[in-house]
Structure 1
Amino acid sequence: MRKRTTIGLALATALAFAPLAGHAAPAATYHAPKNGFGQPDLQGTWTNASLTSLQRPAMFKTLTLTDAEAVALEKRRAAARANQDKPTDPKLGAPPVANDPGGYNASWTDPGVSLGRIDGKVRTSWIVDPADGRLPYSTAGHQAYVDALRKARNSWDGPENRPLGERCILGFGSTAGPPMLNVLYNNNYQIVQSKDAVAILVEMNHDARIVRLTDRKHPPADVRPWMGDSVGWWEGDTLVVETTNFNPGESLRPYFDNSILLSPNAKVTERFTRVSPKQILYQFQVDDPATYSQVWKAEMPMNAAPGPVYEYACHEGNYALPGILAGARKADKEGRKIEAVDVSGR
């Protein structure tokens, strides 16, 4: 359960992030306002909630859709969500299902209601390179991904083997990043700047990432904090952030078509450019030869969000992990096999 309390709190793009042919860069006439330190001001509350996912679904063959195609798809998704939001309690009219105690409907989820739009164009995936919008796993990388997913789905001996989201250590998927990806709900971020650092507060699990602006030196290889080690610098109006030294425990980040695997020695380079009063263009590339056959690149909009970011207290009243482990032990005693939900996106 969540305890909610209020938390107080330009486009200079390098060649590696040059737009692909056929999609225009944001208008260069806008320049972000400056904060008291003379830096481009990225501060505020932002959201990446969207029906667009990291990888391009097979139903789409191109990076962009027309507005008419997008509106039709958004209407279908809205209708499906309304159906998922029907009562699940038989006392409220839901049809009873044998041996099913019932569960949540979709009222508590908040994945977004529209596809992502960058420079007015509707996106079918965040990935822009490779051109097919799919993660370019190497043979070894894909096997490592499958093995990690299998372990996450079938390891019930103790809490240490369960995914980080279940253990309330980091948000599920890659919501905290880097790279920061949209998930099922709580897709809000608050950015706060000082002269020497940028703080990114992530609503999901209340994760907080600090980006140092004082130097570009990463710690020794044996220092591997959650969310890696992030250093940043300014290139014109763009904040560039380089993250290395990832913790091995967060290599698998499963969430449907936003699932990714990063080896501990991956390098993620992010670029934050405020392109309008209400949008930050968030671009990133992942360099991980141990997992992927090439460097892959993506971009997404982070849109201004109303209101504050609230505390996400995952640990408070959370019965999920004891229930999961107790259920597995009961199934073992009864000789039953646990059927886990496939969140691989494959």
Structure 2
Amino acid sequence: MSKILLFSLVSNFTCLSAEEDMKTWFGDPDLQGVWTNASLTTLERPDEYESLLVTEEEANRAATFSAEFTDAIDNPYEEGETPKAGENVGGYNTAWMDPGTKLFKINGEYRSSILIYPENGKLPRKWVRWGIEAPSIYRMFTQANHPEERSLGERCIVGFGSTGGPPMLNVLYNNHYQIVQSPGYVMILVEMNHDARIIRIKGSHLPDHIKPWLGDSVGHWEGNTLVVKTKNHHLQQRFRAAIRHQILITETAEVTERFTRTSEDEILYEFSVDDDVAYRDVWKGEMPLRKAEGKIYEYACHEGNYSMANILAGAREEERRNQ
């Protein structure tokens, strides 16, 4: 009997200690640390998958294909072969790329997409192709008449592809986030482009005419879950493009995020986007943020953006050739 009682006391103490360890010194659930959302799982479901859940065989096949594709990029020529004159020499060395090496898991199950709603894993766009059916929105950030017509990611103002969010999505590289908490605030440092999201706890939203680069975020706690609502999205953050996804987040959209610490090494990140200007329905997604080793170092995107002059000059030359 005494052994049973002792075991019960030790078990209860262990549970209480674990709960206390997951709290900040001021009593809020502890989300702090450096985290990554790097993964081969994409926002929308690829056509080869029929459902949200993926078998281990399918997940292994995706990982193998990604590794072989990366190796092919690194070694486009046979041994001793040299590029032909004028041939495209390629872009980044893959040492700069870090999209992840496998599909992510939630509750022990591989996922084919970040999107969980709509159930088909596709964005409920009002326009199937931004550039054709929503030309004014698309062209706003894909022309080259002046620097402001280029995307914010290209101009190194914020990261591309909504890596800074909200919602915070995985991209080709630099998928790290550092969360720091203090009484009344949660700060998320986004590796690319070293942006800091300041989330006020139990605060009020800013007036509608004030639109920060990453929107205006206000949070509150629901048990151990941080719930963040973001409004007042910046006009120039409308079109967010990456290699693996393109999304629109218009100024009147409302994005709701949920951060729940599920273990020492993982946060479940959930989000929903309500934007009736660009979409026929709300869309929702979820993905894990996994603990990363080391620190986040400065993302030195550019010093002066010397390429901008060449981009604009190239556009003028193209116009002359087309006259």
Q: Quick one: distance in 2 between partners of 1:305 and 1:213?
A: 25
Give the structure 1 partner of residue 241 of structure 2. Answer: 254
Q: CA deviation at 1:290?
A: 1.2
- After superposition, the C-alpha distances for 1:258-316 in whole angstroms (9 at most, x for unaligned) are 21101100000000001111110000000111111111110011111110001112232
Deviation beyond 6 Å, 4+ runs, structure 1? none
Residues 1:274 and 2:232 aligned together? no
- Answer yes or no: is 1:330 the counterpart of 2:317: yes
Match of 2:250 among 243, 263, 270: 263
**Does the CA-based 8 Å contact 1:197-1:214 persist in structure 2?**
no
Between the aligned partners of 2:114 and 2:81, the Cα distance in structure 1 is 37
Please name the residue that 1:45 is paired with: 34
On the 8 A contact 1:141/1:291 being kept in 2, the answer is: no
Higher relative contact order (CA 8 A, sep 6+): 1
- The 5 Å alignment of 1:172-321 reads 172-215=160-203, 217-316=204-303, 318-321=305-308
Letter of the 1:71 partner, please give it: N
CA distance in 2, matches of 1:317, 1:101: 26
Give ranges in structure 2 of 5+ residues lacking alignment: 1-17
- Contact map agreement 2:155 2:305 (CA 8 A) in 1: no
Q: Which amino acid aligns with 1:266?
A: A
- Partners of 2:221 and 2:299 lie apart in 1 by 31
Pairwise CA RMSD of aligned residues? Answer: 2.3
Distance in structure 2 (CA, Å) of the matches to 1:310 and 1:93: 38
Say if 1:119 and 1:160 are closer, same or farther in 2 by CA, change over 3 A: same
User: Offset at 1:325?
Assistant: 1.8
Distance of 2:277 and 2:128 partners within structure 1: 8
Quote the residue 2:68 is aligned against: 79
2:147 — aligned with what?
159
SS at match of 1:152: coil
Q: Any idea what SS the aligned residue of 1:205 has?
A: coil
Deviations 1:182-228 (A, max 9, x none): 1110000000000110000000111110000142x212111111111
2:101 matched to 1:120? Answer: no
Give 1:141 shift. 9.6
**Which 10-residue stretch deviates more, 156-165 or 316-325?**
316-325
1:204 is paired with a residue whose SS is coil
Note the C-alpha offset of 1:148.
2.8
1:44-99 CA distance string (max 9 Å, x none): 000001101111111111101111210122011101111111278x9x95632342
Q: Cα offset for 1:321?
A: 2.1
SS of the equivalent of 2:51 reads coil
Segments of 5+ residues of structure 1 without an aligned counterpart are 1-29, 337-346
Residue 168 of structure 1, CA deviation? 1.1
CA separation of 1:291/1:190 partners in 2, compared to 1, >3 Å: closer, same or farther? same
Tell me the distance in 2 between the aligned counterparts of 1:187 and 1:160. Answer: 26
Residues 261 and 268 in structure 2, CA contact (< 8 A), matched pair in contact too: yes
8 Å contact kept, 1:191–1:198: yes
Q: CA deviation at 1:255?
A: 1.4
1:125-140 equivalence runs, <5 A: 125-139=113-127
Q: Against the structure 1 CA distance between its residues 50 and 320, is the aligned structure 2 distance closer, same or farther, given a 3 Å change threshold?
A: farther
The whole-number CA distance in structure 1 between the counterparts of 2:287 and 2:102 is 13
What is the DSSP-based 3-state SS (H/G/I as helix, E as strand, rest coil) of the residue aligned with 2:268?
A: strand
In 1, the alpha carbon distance for the partners of 2:101 and 2:306 equals 30
**1:145·1:261 contact (CA, 8 Å) conserved in 2?**
no
Which amino acid in 1 is paired with 2:46?
Answer: P
**What SS does the corresponding residue of 1:173 show, helix, strand or coil?**
helix
- Counterpart of 1:109 (choices 92, 97, 106) is 97
| Aligned match of 2:6 | none
Question: Which structure would you say has the larger Rg?
Answer: 2
TM-score scaled to structure 2, two decimals? 0.87
> Judging changes above 3 Å, is the alpha-carbon distance between structure 1 residues 94 and 311 closer, same or farther for their aligned structure 2 residues?
farther
Distance 1:138 1:334 in 2: 35
Distance 1:140 1:58, change over 3 A: closer
**Structure with the higher helix share, 1 or 2:** 2
